[in-house]
A and B are shown apart, each in its own frame.
Chain A
Amino acid sequence: MLDAGPQPLVQVSDLKMYFPIHTGLLRKHTGDVKAVDGVSFSINQGETLGLVGESGCGKSTVGRALLRLYEPTAGKVVIDGQDVASLTPEALRQKRPTMQMVFQDPQASLNPRMTVADIIGEPLLEHANLDEQGRLRRIYELMDQVGLNRSFANRYPYAFSGGQRQRIGIARALALNPKFIVCDEPIAALDVSIQAQVVNLLEDLQTRLGLTYLFISHDLSMVRHIADRVAVMYLGRIAELSPRDALYARPLHPYAEALLSAVNEPDPNRARRQRIILKGDVPSPANPPKGCNFCTRCPKVFDLCRTIKPDLIQAEPGRFVACHLYSNTNAGPTGTQAPISDNQQGVSQ
């Protein structure tokens, strides 16, 4: 990274995405699933931000809300200078080419009745003003870029393996020269030996085209490989956001620590870090615990955690943690003097 300070391309502030729960005969609105509950981060130009967490923590919802595939409940999502969350439908349509998505399941996200050329070329029909010749030229160019043989252009998705299908999905995402791509578990459905091929491709494309990625994954080893900074989510909120090396060397948030310790090092001959086994399951996002959302499973929990939600604060240069252990107000594990930093996240229930 440059000293001059790279410009953030994506700036998310206090993003909330609630899904309403309707119950009873009259489908009354009785509550919300708080899938994303006040998430803020930024991604610099050319950077890869890894977004990790367990299933149901809201990481995919963040990705979708960012591109406004969902209508966010609240918050701002500024991408390349425009707040995507508040754009009018037409302005949003014009904005779409700058932001694209690569989906998890290449089987489900490709239309089985369209040829590869049609799939890759569809965004061009919608957004680019190209004649048939130009379009075909662009399709071939994209196929070259992702390492697909041009002669396969008229085949259908079923004829391809998982890794190749993911390449088709990537080519489609690249078609309109986006600046920002959300990669939502792009390798989760692939075999180990194929995962590396796709990750290397994503890295090559980033270098060549100056892309900015949000890389959503539950594979912590792969995120360590690809991401510059990593955000760890738990139950709709960011627990820790740190530069990659710092996080993996010394996680600050107790959840990040437990999560990293749970990953099995693929080598029995190497000394491993002390494993922290979390008790119980993740609470329901429809009914999150009072106070810190990790307080029901946290091995370091103390009284304050059960009453007040910790804010995401800068604990060390460049490292952000939402945990009372790191509150700059000096309430240590023994502290009973509750520091009320009165703000929207503290007491918004």
Chain B
Amino acid sequence: MADLAAPVLDVRGLKTVFHTRAGEVHAVNSVSFSLRPGEVLGVVGESGSGKSVTMMSLLGLLPSPPADVRGGQVLLGGRDLLKISPKELQSVRGAKVGFVFQDPMTSLNPVFSVGNQIMEPLRKHMGMTKAQAADRAVELLELVGIPDARRRLKSYPHQFSGGMRQRVMIAIALACDPDVLIADEPTTALDVTIQAQILELVKDLRQKLGMAIIWITHDLGVIAAIADRVMVMYGGQVAEHAPVKELFARPQHPYTRALLRTIPSISGERAARLQVIEGQPPILTAEPASCPFRARCIHSLDRCAQENPARHAVDGKPLGTGHDVACFWSPELMTEGEDA
């Protein structure tokens, strides 16, 4: 564990609100996390849990209005990204931070060749000439495992398959040697065998390039395969945060525990019946004054309705470095015979 290394990215108390016709939606509430060089932080949560909005807020990718990043700090290389000018922010995007989106079809521009799209950040951020950029683009395509790269530069996105397009997206994100790669459900739209290829590729690239990665997904299987640390989000806030093995071995938050039980296993014991989490995720029309998971929680206490639990460490390490959880309940409170 690179416990001692200074974080490349440090996010503190991030808050994002959307203004809608039905009033405000508090999509992200006081989210804090840090990312150290060379590590993979997995972010899990259901749709609407705020995981994508958090990452998009970091880089000013949300249209405003309706979005309003209301507070917090995003420190990257000593600068607060929420304070710098849009122009400076643009030089951060692409150059310092690469972003890979979920759907490789809609995030590539269909009317420009793939080569053109890889060369764009190189010429813009690195000031390369066309010839230099073309050479680098070939290098990048080879890096992400696209055969016959020089010829493929002239191809258009529709001439690539889904897995190949996602490789192109990764190549674009890597173009300027970013310190941080943010991947938002990059394999969700892909088939399992292609997903396996991309996961292998990313693990390999991280070894070669040593960059830090934030990997957003709702698939705990992918998290188990790729992440070093995991942040579980629910209702716009961090429910639990832990090193990956620790999270799967000793989940603390009732939501994490329930989530792990709802997914059937591919090789383990086959349950006669799937465990369910009753109810629906909350709609966050106001800053939550109580625990957002309370209504669906099988362990909820009186206190959960009165205040929103803050994150506290369960292993004595400082917040954000070890295992912490935002919950008043703990597995030690479990009485004999209660549902594990």
Contact A221 B266 (CB under 8 A): yes
Number of interface residues of B (CB under 8 A): 47
Stretch from B109-117, B270-278, B300-308, B326-334 that touches the partner: B270-278
- Cβ of A314 < 8 Å from any Cβ of B? no
Which residues from chain B contact A259 at a C-beta distance below 8 Å?
192-193
Chain A residue contacts of B278, Cβ below 8 A: 197
Q: Are A199 and B224 closer than 8 Å at their CB atoms?
A: no
- Contact B264–A192 (Cβ < 8 Å): no
Chain A residues positioned under 8 Å from B264 (CB to CB): 221-222, 224-225
Neighbouring A residues of B92 by C-beta, 8 Å:
none
B197 contacts A278, C-beta separation under 8 Å? yes
CB of B270 within 8 A of CB of A225, answer: yes
| Interface set, chain B 155-197, CB cutoff 8 A to A | 161-164, 191-197
Q: Is the CB of B46 within 8 A of A269?
A: no
Does A3 lie at the interface of the complex (its beta carbon under 8 Å from any beta carbon of B)?
no
Q: Is B225 a contact partner of A264 (Cβ separation < 8 A)?
A: yes
Residue A196 at the B interface, CB < 8 A? yes
With the chains together, A268 CA to B249 CA distance in Å?
A: 9
Report A-chain residues with C-beta under 8 Å of the C-beta of B127.
none
Known contacts A263-B221, A269-B248: does B262 contact A193 (CB below 8 Å)? Answer: yes
CB pair B271–A225 under 8 Å, yes or no, is yes
What chain A residues lie within 8 Å of B277 (beta carbons)? Answer: 193, 196
| Contact call A200/B224, Cβ cutoff below 8 A | no
B192 to A263, Cβ gap below 8 A?
A: yes
**Interface mask (B38-82 → A, CB under 8 Å = 1, otherwise 0):** 000000001100000000000000000000000000000000000
A173–chain B nearest beta-carbon distance, Å: 21
State the CA gap A273–B193 with chains docked (Å).
Answer: 15
With A and B bound together, what is the CA distance between A267 and B280 in angstroms?
25
Q: Which residues of A contact B164 (CB under 8 A)?
A: 281
Kindly identify which residue among A221, A224, A272, A281 contacts B161, using a CB–CB cutoff of 8 Å: A281
Q: A220-B192, A220-B266, A281-B163 are in contact. Are A193 and B274 (CB under 8 A)?
A: no
Determine how close the nearest CB of chain A comes to the CB of B8; give it in whole angstroms. 24
Bound-complex Cα distance A260 to B196 (A): 11
A262 contacts chain B at the CB level, 8 A cutoff: yes
A111 on the B face (CB < 8 A): no
Q: Are B265 and A218 touching (Cβ within 8 A)?
A: no
CB–CB B47/A191 < 8 A? yes
- At the interface, yes or no: B223 with Cβ under 8 Å from chain A? yes
Q: Determine which residue in A163, A261, A268, A278 has the highest number of CB atoms from chain B within 10 A of its CB, and name it.
A: A268
Nearest-Cβ distance from residue A265 to partner chain B, whole angstroms: 6
| Assembly CA distance A163 to B18 (angstroms) | 25
CB contacts (< 8 Å) of B265 on chain A: these are 221, 224, 265-267
Are B274 and A191 in contact, CB atoms less than 8 angstroms apart? Answer: no
Q: A248 at the A/B interface (Cβ < 8 Å)?
A: yes
Which residue in chain B gives the minimum CB-CB distance to A268? Answer: B224
Minimum CB–CB distance from B2 to chain A (whole Å) comes to: 18
Assuming A161-B280, A191-B47, A224-B266, is B274 touching A265 (CB within 8 A)? no
Q: How far is the CA of A281 from the CA of B191 in the complex (A)?
A: 10
A155 interfacial contact with B, CB 8 Å = no
Residues of B within 8 A of A194 (CB): 280
Q: Are A192 and B46 closer than 8 Å at their CB atoms?
A: yes
Q: Which residues of A contact B270 (CB under 8 A)?
A: 224-225
- Complex CA distance for A263 and B264, rounded to whole angstroms: 12
Q: B202 at the A/B interface (Cβ < 8 Å)?
A: no
Which B residue sits closest to A57, measured CB to CB?
B191
Could you say which residues of chain B place their CB within 8 Å of the CB of A191?
Answer: 46-47, 218, 281
A259 to B222 CA separation, bound complex (whole angstroms): 15
Least CB separation from A189: chain B residue: B47
Q: A191 to B217: give the CA distance in the assembly, Å.
A: 11
B106 within 8 A of partner (CB): no
Does the CB pair A265–B266 fall under 8 Å? yes
Residues of chain B in range 215-269 having any CB-CB distance to chain A below 8 Å: 218-225, 244-245, 248-249, 258-260, 262-268
Closest Cβ of chain B: how far from A54's Cβ, in Å?
4
8 Å CB contacts to B: which residues of A245-265? 248, 258-265
B200 at the interface (CB under 8 A from A): yes
B-chain residues with CB within 8 Å of residue A203 when the two chains form the complex? 273
Partner of B267, one of A273, A277, A278: A273
Contact residue among A200, A266, A273 (Cβ-Cβ distance under 8 Å from B263): A266
Q: Report the bound CA distance from A264 to B278 in whole Å.
A: 25
- Residue in B47, B224, B268 whose CB lies within 8 Å of A264: B224
Question: B273 contacts A264, CB within 8 Å?
Answer: no
A200–B280 CB distance below 8 A: no
Report yes or no: A278 in contact with B222, Cβ–Cβ below 8 A. Answer: no
12 sample A-B contacts, Cβ–Cβ < 8 Å, listed by A number: A54-B191, A194-B280, A196-B262, A200-B273, A200-B276, A262-B193, A263-B221, A265-B265, A267-B268, A268-B245, A275-B196, A282-B161
Q: A197-B278, A278-B196 are in contact. List 18 more A-B contacts (CB 8 A).
A: A191-B281, A192-B262, A196-B274, A196-B276, A200-B274, A203-B273, A221-B266, A224-B264, A224-B266, A224-B270, A225-B274, A258-B193, A261-B196, A262-B196, A267-B224, A267-B248, A269-B248, A281-B163
